[in-house]
Structure 1
Amino acid sequence: MDEAQIELAARLRLAVGRLHRRIRIDGRESIPPLQLSTLVTVEQHGPLRLSDLARREAVSAPTMSRVLAALDEQGLVVRAVDPQDARGVRITLSEKGAAALATVRSHRTALVARRLTRLSEDQRTTLREALPALEALLVDERDIC
């Protein structure tokens, strides 16, 4: 890897990280980051068992248990008996959870849209053209093989 590629990687990491942090701070969501991430994971991959959620979120089972208790208390998830194992529970997103995610997404999109108005038309065009490359960075290396 050459110096130019290392510099590009560092600048991109810094810009994306700071933009993400600004969106989180400006968003002032009432849902903490791990709970929000868990809701998204359940939406995308659910229904899931607690152990699967913990693995996907890279936290311990006791931590995920606390997260799910908080989400359940707020009515954002639904726990149902696992049809393949009566001792297990599968977690799905409730209607209230789906609505909460939609609200957060809408609010965060509006925050980014306001920031985009600060850019020139040429800068917005450059970003639009860069989106396929940025989206390609999101593909997990395990998914390529």
Structure 2
Amino acid sequence: MARKEFVRLMEENIWTLDKIAEKLRLDRVDSTGYPRQLMSILVRLHNGGRAKLKDIARREHVSAPNLCAAFRKLEHDGLVIRAIDDEDRRNTWYCVSPSGAELAIRAMDLFRNGVEKVFANLSREDEKRLTDALRTMRDIIRNVELNNE
């Protein structure tokens, strides 16, 4: 019974959070002019720092060909810088350009402001309870991710 309740609650919370996140992503897309997937890749690259294509693909659970197409667009727009690895020419490094960093920061600010709006009417007590629960969830999920790599 406890496992069924866990699965049901996890499903319910994931769908609810996904609905909220989708609204926040749509608001961010409207404000940046870029599709959600490209903004997500740009923000994640900004947060994760310079990396090789294969490492980004593994980290983001996205195929390298799909990432290449996204990076071509971002590079064309001056948001991402691509460089061939001098030590191993089979590898390609990607990093966010200064203008890409500005856009990523703006997108993150828009997202955070959206979160503020969604939860603006939360009581201090509920905010503390939710913060504690989110910390616990984050820690458990990180452990699950590490054990499943």
TM-score, normalised to structure 2, is 0.80
For residue 140 of structure 1, report the CA deviation from its aligned partner: 5.0
For residue 79 of structure 1, report the CA deviation from its aligned partner: 1.3
How high is the sequence identity, in percent, across the aligned residues? 26
> What amino acid does structure 2 have at the position aligned with 1:48?
A
Question: How far, CA to CA, are the matches of 1:140 and 1:97 in structure 2?
Answer: 31
TM-score, normalised to structure 1, is 0.82
Q: Is the alpha carbon distance of 1:140 and 1:94 closer, same or farther for their aligned partners in structure 2, counting shifts above 3 Å?
A: farther
Unmatched runs of 5 consecutive residues or more in structure 1: none
Aligned Cα root-mean-square deviation (Å): 2.4
2:71 is the alignment partner of 1:68: yes
Q: Tell me what 1:115 maps to.
A: 118
Superimposed CA distance per residue, residues 76-125 of structure 1 (whole angstroms, 9 cap, x where no aligned partner): 11112312123543111111111111101111111111121122333222
Give the alignment of 1:1-145 within 5 angstroms: 2=2, 3-27=4-28, 28=30, 29-139=32-142, 141-144=144-147
Unmatched runs of 5 consecutive residues or more in structure 2: none
For residue 7 of structure 1, report the CA deviation from its aligned partner: 2.9
Q: Is the alpha carbon distance of 1:80 and 1:12 closer, same or farther for their aligned partners in structure 2, counting shifts above 3 Å?
A: same
Superimposed CA distance per residue, residues 43-86 of structure 1 (whole angstroms, 9 cap, x where no aligned partner): 34443233333333333333222111101011111112312123
Question: How far, CA to CA, are the matches of 2:42 and 2:100 in structure 1?
Answer: 7
Question: How far, CA to CA, are the matches of 2:108 and 2:44 in structure 1?
Answer: 14
Name which of structure 1's ranges 90-99 and 42-51 shifts more when overlaid on structure 2: 42-51
SS in 1 for 2:89: strand
Question: How far, CA to CA, are the matches of 1:39 and 1:71 in structure 2?
Answer: 8
SS in 2 for 1:85: coil
